[in-house]
Amino acid sequence: MHGNMSYMENHFDKRLDPRLLVDGAKSVVSLALNYFPERTQIDDTYKLSKYAYGEDYHFIIKYKLKELMKFIASEIGEVGGRVFVDSAPVLDRAWAKKSGLGWIGKNANLINKEVGSFFFLAELIIDLELEPDGPVKDYCGTCTACIDECPTDAIPEPYVVDGSKCISYLTIELKNEIIPKEFQGKMEDWMFGCDICQDVCPWNRFSTPHNEPLLNPKPNLLGLNKKDWEDLTEEVFRDLFKKSAVKRTKFDGLKRNIGFLNK
């Protein structure tokens, strides 16, 4: 159910065994970074997933992880290993679940009882023997809000997401010139990513604003209306999304998405 994301078929052995990624690996340290914003976009506009409001999280977190590795080395001596931020065949959620950072919810996101699910995941895979934390229980209960509210029916059953129907996939990963007609009128103005299954999750009532300045949006981003987005030029796109994850879809991709929503 991964659509055109063929890279997900690769390196299956490494996904299952981190020792194939990092020689001598003995522990996976899972970490989370909150990205829940203090303010969101205006109503009645084309929407960006909240994680993409500020600078690209890959670079922000990788810097933090390298600093953490330096700190560990200064405290206990040299430690061998690597840092990972969503850029290698590492099963982020599976390791985070094992580490007790949260449980995997019915929307397939990792959910934490104290802070919800608006956070990034990252790992240190190191050659240090650590006593592991245990997993926590599943607190989804009988709730089906994420399943009920997904406009493209991308969650066919609890804990299973059909990536090929997910709005995030359609607006970011799908590189075709056109989005399939079956999704016409179902994407609820999302032009890059989608937060619906998180927005409706009751556990996200505990989300609190992050304190990372680099994740804050450019001053004018949140106030742009639909016409502003429809009139977006490549020059403004480059300025608005400099160092942003939105560059992944490129200017033409974002315009494609806006055009599809505007039909």
Q: Which of 107, 97, 132, 122 is CA-nearest to residue 32? A: 122
Beta bridge partners of 120: 33
CA distance 221 to 240: 7
Dump the DSSP string for 95-158. Answer: HHHHHTS-EE-TTSSEEBTTTBS-EEEEEEEES---PPPPP-----TT--HHHHH-TT---SBT
Q: Which of 187, 223, 196, 204 is CA-nearest to residue 39? A: 223
Contact of 82 with 28, CB cutoff 8 Å: no
Domain count, the chain: 1
Residues of the chain short of pLDDT 70, as ranges, are none
Angle at 98 between CA 95 and CA 103, to 5 degrees: 100
Which pLDDT score, from 0 to 100, does residue 211 have?
A: 97
Which pLDDT score, from 0 to 100, does residue 135 have?
A: 95
Contact of 204 with 105, CB cutoff 8 Å: no
* Domain enclosing residue 169, as ranges: 1-263
pLDDT for 111-153, tens place per residue?
Answer: 999 999 999 999 999 999 999 999 999 999 999 999 999 999 9
Which pLDDT score, from 0 to 100, does residue 31 have?
A: 97
The one-letter amino acid code at 226 reads: K
Active-site amino acid positions: 86
Which pLDDT score, from 0 to 100, does residue 13 have?
A: 86
The one-letter amino acid code at 169 reads: Y
Beta bridge partners of 192: 48
